[in-house]
Amino acid sequence: MQIGALTTLLAIGVLTGEKRFIEGRFYQESKVGGLLLILFVCSATVSSISSENQLSSLAYVVGIAICLLVCSGVWILSPSELLNDLKIYVIATAISALVIWRLTPDLGRRFGGVVHPNYWGLVCLSIFCLAALIKNLLFRSAIQLVSIAIIFASQSRSALLSVLAASCVFGYFCFRSARISKDIKLLLMVGIVTGTMVAFATAKEQIYDEFASAFRINDPYRGVGSGFSGRTALWRAGMDVLAAHPWFGVGAHMESNFISVGGITQAHNGYINTLVQFGTIGSGLFFGFFILSFWRLLCLARTSAPGASVGVALVIGYAVEAIFEPKLLNIGNPVSIVVLMFLLRPVGKTELGKINGAPYPYPVLLFR
C-alpha cells in the first residue's frame, strides 16, 4: 500500500513538475549526498541479487529508490507550502489517533491491540514533533498532550524516550532564540544545571522510582531481567547474521529469513537491521548520507529556517527510537518518509548565505 502511494506521488510529480521533480533540489545542491545515495542503491541492488528471494528484495530496493525520489521531489513546493501540508497531516493524524484511542475498549493489551503499540508510539512521536509547526500555542500544546497520553496508553517506552529527546531539542532552540543577553542565558544555564544536580542529590530514589515505573525497568516481562522484552537476544542474533554476511548483508527486507528469537524475526534495532540487510558497505553509505544530511538540517535550523528545528527534533527522536525498534530506513510507514523528507530538504541561496556567513565553521563540502 505504501509503495503504491509513493508510486502515485512519483507519477503525479513527474506529470506536474517534469524534470525538476526527478532531479530534486537536494541532489543538485549536494553532489556528495546524491552520490552516497546512488552508491547505496547500487550496493542494495547487489545485496538483493545475492539474496534468497531476489524478486521480493529487488522490489523493496525499487521502493526505496522511488521513496528517495519522492522525498526529494516534493521540495519543488516552497518550504511554507510543504510545512502547511504537514500541519494538515499532523492535525488529521492526531484527531484520528484520539478517536481510535477513545473508542477502543480496554482489552488489557496495551491500547486494545488495534495495531502494534510501538507503531502508535512512532506515529505519536511524529505528532508531537510536527505539532510544533502550529503557531497557536494552545492548539499546539493540546495536540502534543494528546500524543503523550496515547504513548502512555500504549506503553511505548521507546517513543517516550524519543519524545524526551525531541523535547530537549525544542528546549535548546527555544533557549537559543530567546531575546535575552548571553550573560543572562549563561546564568540561567548554570541555575538549571545546579537545580538539576540538587534535585538528583535530594530525591534520587523518588526520581529513580518514577523513571523505573515509566520505562518498566523492573517489570519481569519487559524490564532489565527480560533483556527488555528479549531485545538483547535479538541484537545478538542480528550481529551473528552480520558476521556471517559482513559486506553486502542478506538483502533488503530479507532479515526475517535469518533471525528468529521467540517468534520475532527482526533484530528490534534499526541500525542492526540496516546492517543485516545491506551489510557494512551499503549501510556505511546510508549512514554517511544520514549524518551529512542531518548536519545540513542542523545548519538550517541554526539560521532559523522555517521548520528546520522541527525536522531536527523529529530526526533525533526517530534516531533514538531506532535503537529499540526495527526501523531506520523503512518505506512502510509515513513517519519514516517524513523523516526522509526533512533529511532531503534543500538549502536556498539566502539560507546558504546565512550559513556561510555565520561565525561558526561549517564545511562547504556539505553544500557543494
Q: Among the residues of the chain, which ranges form H helices?
A: 2-17, 19-23, 25-29, 31-49, 54-73, 79-103, 117-130, 137-154, 157-177, 182-214, 227-244, 270-302, 308-321, 334-343, 349-356
Question: How confident is the model at residue 198, as a pLDDT?
Answer: 79
In which residue are the cell numbers 522510582 written?
A: 209
**What residue type is 22 in one-letter code?**
I
The alpha carbon dihedral of 27, 28, 29, 31 has a sign of positive
Cell of 355: 550559513
User: What's the confidence (pLDDT) of residue 278?
Assistant: 95
Query: Is residue 29 in some structural domain?
Result: no
Q: Which residue has the cell 497557536?
A: 136
Query: Which residues, listed in sequence order, are joined to residue 264 by a DSSP beta bridge?
Result: 261
Give the three-state DSSP class for 59: helix
What is the spatial distance between Cα 95 and Cα 100, in angstroms, rounded to a whole number? 9
Domain range enclosing 169: 2-21+36-366
Which residues have CB under 8 Å from 151's CB, separation 6+?
A: 120, 121, 124, 125, 159, 160, 163
- pLDDT tier for residue 28 given thresholds of 50, 70 and 90: confident
Cell of 103: 473508542
Domain tally, the chain: 1
Evaluate whether residue 30 is within a structural domain.
no
Q: Is residue 27 a part of any domain in this protein?
A: no
Instruction: Note whether 231 and 241 are within 8 A (CB).
Output: no
Instruction: Please tell me the predicted confidence (pLDDT) of residue 317.
Output: 96
pLDDT at 360: 46
What is the band of 303 on the pLDDT scale with cuts at 50, 70, 90? confident
pLDDT mean over 311-330: 91
How many whole angstroms separate alpha carbon 244 and alpha carbon 353?
Answer: 48
> Quick one: pLDDT band at residue 364, thresholds 50, 70, 90?
very low
Kindly give, in sequence order, each residue whose CB lies less than 8 Å from that of residue 248, ignoring residues fewer than 6 positions away.
43, 46, 47, 50, 278, 279, 281, 282
CA distances from 20 to 17, 73, 76, 368 (A): 6, 7, 7, 18
In a domain, 301, yes or no: yes
Domain membership flag for residue 26: no
In the block, cell 543577553 appears at 181
What percent of the chain has a predicted confidence (pLDDT) above 90?
A: 44
Residue 293 has pLDDT above 50, yes or no: yes
Residue 247 has pLDDT above 70, yes or no: yes
Asked whether residue 40 is assigned to any structural domain, the reply reads: yes
pLDDT of residue 365: 42
